[in-house]
Structure 1
Amino acid sequence: MDDVSVLTRLFLSLILGAAVGLERESYEDSLTEDKQGIPGALGVRTFSLITLLGSVTGILHAYYFNLFLLVTATFMVLVVSYYVTGSFLTKDNGMTTELAVLFSYLLGMFIGLEFFSIQIIIALAVILILIMSRKHNIKHFVTTIKRHELNGFISYAIIALVVLPFLPNQAYSLSDAPALVDILNSYGFAVQSIVHVEVFNPYKIWLVVAIVTGVDVLGYVLKKVIGHRKGWGIASMVGGFVSSTATTVSLAQQSKKSETSDMFVAAAVLSNIASFVQIFI
């Protein structure tokens, strides 16, 4: 690793740390105004130094491993001490800031170690900032979720994440069931010409089920976040890129539960437009 590369990575660490710190500082300032937080607790300078420390520590890993362990262990002790002290003073057991500190340190370390590509590290930093900045939105969304809605999300997770990955992505034909072919032949059905034609593929069939239910779930979530019409429109376009047919089936099912079907017809059109766009891309 040459000097230019080292300086570039250290500078990137400072920038990412400053971005995270800016979000935390604005949040801490809002708490200070409400007399709920510790004035000037953590901010741009602190997080910049944290990510910079992580990068330096990552660079030291290849040359001074014992020093790397010492710095990392000391940092962890400081974070735990900060959490215990802050919890005692503010009577708040939340760990968002402390986890952000650890995550920022890891981001800096990843930069120093060249563990991930720069694009992935920047994406992780953006996700971190996004999650922290949307605290009130996330809380509001969670409080509006009812038990049956949570059960629906769990059911979809089982469909898409538990069952689907384990189904064989293999085409089956009549040739895979010779006993069935013999039975059909005994009844005078000429099946030799179609014996190798694909009959079904378990993975693809269940994928359609996952898409149909996925459009329902995505549409429901977006409906609660950005509104009824926009939510279904965006969900339909996303579903159209995967399967416009399955998306249209899902919209048809939803239209039966609604007093008006105009919105779902428009959403189905958007789904098919998205499918055409995918073909040209």
Structure 2
Amino acid sequence: MEYEIVKSLFITLALGFLIGIQRRLSSLEDDNKYFGGGRTFALIALFGYISAWIGTKVSYFSIVSFVTLAFLIALAYYFKVSKTGRTGLTTQLAALITFTLGLMVYEHLTNYAIFVAVLTIVILEIKPRLQTLERNISPVDVQAVTLLLVMSFIVLPILPDEMLGPYNLFNPYKTWLMAVIIALISFIGYIAIKTLGQKYGIFLTGAAGGFISSTAVSISL
């Protein structure tokens, strides 16, 4: 039992530390005064873990802790904006996510916590690419995403997944699913080329297409 506690504490501190290091390095690259580094984020994660533990004995303690942390972060953000005039909530949101990682580890959701931490670091790390994508997004792109979502989550679920027509040769669900897959591959390729350039974009499209469906790639080509 003690080993499991030590292990979970170590994982909690490690996840917070990694996110904090990423934020620290990012602030150095942008020449910004950073909110916190590895130690700060490790302590925030530990705070989340301890809050979850106390929450088993004191009702709503985790919620109170989260609100308190959010208030302190908001206060620090206010003074930062007042002093520097620079806005941006990325680091502050990362701190709140780090707190929840501690909660998740305590609740034995360690694998999910690790996944969320890695995903958070990846999102933070690809900031320049995301900013490039945001600048290049047009109304046509938004319409394409909307159409893809409608095809995937509104039209597809209501189609019957059974053979119809003469000789039972037509399955509406599977036929439309193929159309959705082809549209998804095309959209991934479009975004990849727009963000990464033609060379890497085409490579990513092929890789994504092969992962999703080799048959769909053959048809789309």
- If the length of structure 1 is used for normalisation, what is the TM-score? 0.71
| Residues matched between the structures, number | 221
Q: In structure 2, how many angstroms separate the alpha carbons of the residues matched to 1:43 and 1:223?
A: 34
Corresponding residue SS for 2:160: coil
Structure 1 unaligned runs (5+)?
175-196, 252-281
Classify 1:8/1:205 alpha carbon distance in 2 versus 1 (closer, same or farther; 3 Å): same
Selected match of 1:226 from 179, 196, 200? 196
In the alignment, which residue of structure 1 is the partner of 2:25?
A: 26
Q: Report the CA distance between 1:217 and its aligned residue.
A: 0.8
* 2:210 equivalent to 1:240: yes
What does 1:1-281 correspond to in 2, within 5 Å? 2-32=1-31, 37-38=32-33, 40-114=34-108, 116=109, 118-172=110-164, 197-251=167-221
Sequence identity (%)? 28
Measure how far apart 1:26 and its partner are.
1.1
* One-letter amino acid of the counterpart of residue 45, structure 1: R
Deviation at 1:69, TM superposition (A): 4.2
2:132–2:195 contact (8 Å) kept in structure 1: no
Secondary structure (helix, strand or coil) at the match of 1:172 reads: coil
Distance change in 2, residues 1:80/1:206 (3 Å): same
Query: 1:237: Cα distance to partner?
Result: 3.9
- CA RMSD, 1 decimal: 2.1
Counterpart AA for 2:20:
G
Deviations 1:8-50 (A, max 9, x none): 1111111001100001111222343xxxx33x53111100000
CA distance in structure 1 between the partners assigned to 2:64 and 2:213 by the alignment: 53
Gaps of at least 5 residues in structure 2 are none
The one of the two structures with greater contact order (alpha-carbon pairs below 8 A, sep at least 6) is 2
Q: Is this contact kept in 2: 1:9–1:112, CA < 8 A?
A: yes
Moved more, 129-138 or 68-77: 68-77
